[in-house]
Amino acid sequence: MRAEYANGNNVMAYARNVLGKTIGGGGGQNHRLATLVAYDLQAGTYVEVTKNNPDFNQQWCKQLAGLIALFLPKGGSLLELGVGEATTINGVLQLLNTDIGDAYGFDISWSRIAVANHWLHENSQKANLFVADLMNIPLADNSIDVVYSSHSLEPNGGNELPCLTECLRIARHAVVLVEPLYELASPEAQQRMRNHGYVQGLKQAAEQLGAEVLDYRLLDITSNPLNPSGVVILHKSSIQNAKSSFWQCPLTGSQLKPSDDIYYASEVGITYPILRSIPMLRSEHAIITSGLKV
Ligand SMILES: C[S@@+](CC[C@H](N)C(=O)[O-])C[C@H]1O[C@@H](n2cnc3c(N)ncnc32)[C@H](O)[C@@H]1O
């Protein structure tokens, strides 16, 4: 994939041809490792695009910030799923600055989080960023006030239900998904989305999970008409209190605690490493350390 990327080819298409659609990778249409490698190889490109077109970035973030603001309590927490290089959360934080308590974001790609940390630092913004998988989020139930996405569920076609289950589990008030909406797209766009293995049926999947869908429509601002951005807002009708613990082991669901240079789940004896200040919290990163003393 690295060689294909260097030659300017579509690395996801290459991976789909080599791996097929069904081998491993969590049962989705794109192999999970292929998604990770493809996005990791692109690290740095979103910051470049943002620097070259700051106006579009600002409009994009304004559209999203307006939707988030509808549900964010004063001083509440927010989290961006698949935060990439933080080019979206940076703008959202600038716009909602005074209303936000803690900001979080995660991505499957370490290289993108590394770029994201730089970008936030350059822009004097703060968010706690870590590596994690959408289908196994290392946070406790009801731990974040507003969970949102900006085209990060997109490549997880076939895994709509596990993705939405996790989003609804960690959100306290609402899940604001800004994603390409297959059912509202043109036939040409739908064909393209099928070819790329993009998500479909987000509204139906959310309803199947018993979520209340408050908003479902295409948005005005979209970067590519062949990948039309829309919004699906899911509301948690019965608000439950967050657990006393915030982090949770993505493999076992036990309580996870940051401690110096690791995240440690003492009940099960599992440790997750921190690589160059980035917590590595995918279940694949779990290290069995029953003899570890903290
Ligand atoms: C189209 S980019 C959008 C990035 C960012 N949200 C933005 O607005 O610029 C999709 C991002 O989702 C991440 N992603 C895709 N599938 C993921 C998964 N299963 N778990 C975590 N991150 C994922 C990718 O690594 C990538 O950074």
- Whether residue 198 has its Cβ less than 6 Å from ligand 1: no
Asked whether residue 135 is domain-assigned, the answer is: yes
- Whether residue 46 has its Cβ less than 6 Å from ligand 1: yes
Asked whether residue 58 is domain-assigned, the answer is: yes
State whether 151 and 20 are in the same domain.
no
What domain range includes position 189? Answer: 47-235
State whether 62 and 144 are in the same domain.
yes
Inter-residue contact 199 to 156 (CB < 8 Å): yes
Q: What is the pLDDT of residue 22?
A: 54
Q: For residues 169 and 149, what is the distance between their CA atoms, to the nearest angstrom?
A: 15
Asked whether residue 257 is domain-assigned, the answer is: yes
Total structural domains within the chain: 3
Alpha carbon nearest to ligand 1 atom 10, residue: 152
The contacts of residue 292 (CB under 8 Å, 6+ apart) are: 264, 269, 271
Mean of per-residue pLDDT scores for the chain: 94
State whether 203 and 278 are in the same domain.
no
157, 200, 253 from 206: Cα distances, Å: 14, 11, 23
Kindly give the pairing relationship between strand 128-131 and strand 100-107. parallel
Ligand 1 centroid, distance to 158 Cα (angstroms) = 16
Alpha carbon nearest to ligand 1 atom 1, residue: 151
Q: For residues 220 and 229, what is the distance between their CA atoms, to the nearest angstrom?
A: 8
Q: What is the pLDDT of residue 31?
A: 84
How many residues are recorded in the chain?
294
State whether 108 and 223 are in the same domain.
yes
Q: What are the phi and psi torsion angles at 280 (to 5°)?
A: -105, 95
Both tokens assigned to 130:
């870590």
Asked whether residue 29 is domain-assigned, the answer is: yes
- Whether residue 271 has its Cβ less than 6 Å from ligand 1: no
pLDDT digits over 54-63, tens only? 999 999 999 9
How many other β-carbons are positioned within 10 Å of the β-carbon of residue 266?
17
State whether 67 and 172 are in the same domain.
yes
Q: What are the phi and psi torsion angles at 187 (to 5°)?
A: -55, -35
Give 239's pLDDT tier (boundaries 50, 70, 90): low
Asked whether residue 131 is domain-assigned, the answer is: yes
State whether 24 and 83 are in the same domain.
no
Beta bridge partners of 174: 146, 235
Q: What is the mean pLDDT of residues 168-183?
A: 97
Asked whether residue 76 is domain-assigned, the answer is: yes
Both tokens assigned to 4:
């294909």
Burial of 22 (0-12, 13-18, 19+ CB in 10 A): exposed
Asked whether residue 89 is domain-assigned, the answer is: yes
Of 229, 196, 227, nearest to 88 by C-alpha is: 229
- Whether residue 87 has its Cβ less than 6 Å from ligand 1: yes
33, 46, 51, 91, 178 from 54: Cα distances, Å: 31, 11, 6, 10, 19
pLDDT digits over 185-232, tens only? 999 999 999 999 999 999 999 999 999 999 999 999 998 999 999 999
- Whether residue 156 has its Cβ less than 6 Å from ligand 1: yes
Asked whether residue 242 is domain-assigned, the answer is: no
